[in-house]
Amino acid sequence: MKILTRKTPTRLLAATAAGVLSAGLLAGCSGDDEAAPGASPAATEEITTFSYEGADGETALDLLLAQDAEAEVSGEGEMAYVTAVQGHAAEDGEEFWALYVDGEMAQVGAGTFETVDGQQLEWKLEEIE
């Protein structure tokens, strides 16, 4: 009686999976621009969006500053105005950084908007009309 084994297909599948994972990791690590953990810029050449998740009791501004060491702000608290995200400054009089929460533009400033766990916060560079 001959017993059939699946060693060859399993090894082939494992090798293929390892190759795909390695290629994905290498592709993800190949850029010079690194986002903060949990944050994701939309583009590597010119940042036009930046997103991260809310956290209970933290303001959108505090979380932005924790996620993005290159963020720039003028003013503070409810008068805070984000002028740069990921090192990309908005051009005076032409564009601005807008805060969106769960896909909707925030109705209060980032310095006063208290977030909750799981909220999706996104900064978008928008043109002044």
pLDDT digits (tens, 9 = 90+) for 75-100: 988 899 999 999 999 999 999 999 99
Q: Flag whether pLDDT at 121 surpasses 70.
A: yes
Q: How many whole angstroms separate alpha carbon 65 and alpha carbon 72?
A: 8
Q: How many whole angstroms separate alpha carbon 126 and alpha carbon 76?
A: 22
In the prediction, which pLDDT does 45 show? 55
The distance from CA 95 to its chain's CA centroid, rounded to whole angstroms, is 20
In the prediction, which pLDDT does 41 show? 52
Q: Flag whether pLDDT at 18 surpasses 50.
A: no
In the prediction, which pLDDT does 4 show? 37
Decide if 111 contacts 79 (C-beta within 8 A): yes
In the prediction, which pLDDT does 89 show? 96
pLDDT digits (tens, 9 = 90+) for 43-70: 445 779 999 999 999 999 999 999 999 9
Binned at pLDDT 50, 70 and 90, residue 39 comes out as low
Decide if 87 contacts 111 (C-beta within 8 A): no
Domains of the chain with CATH codes = 40-127 (2.170.130.30)
Quick one: which of 65, 54, 67, 66 has its CA closest to 115? 54
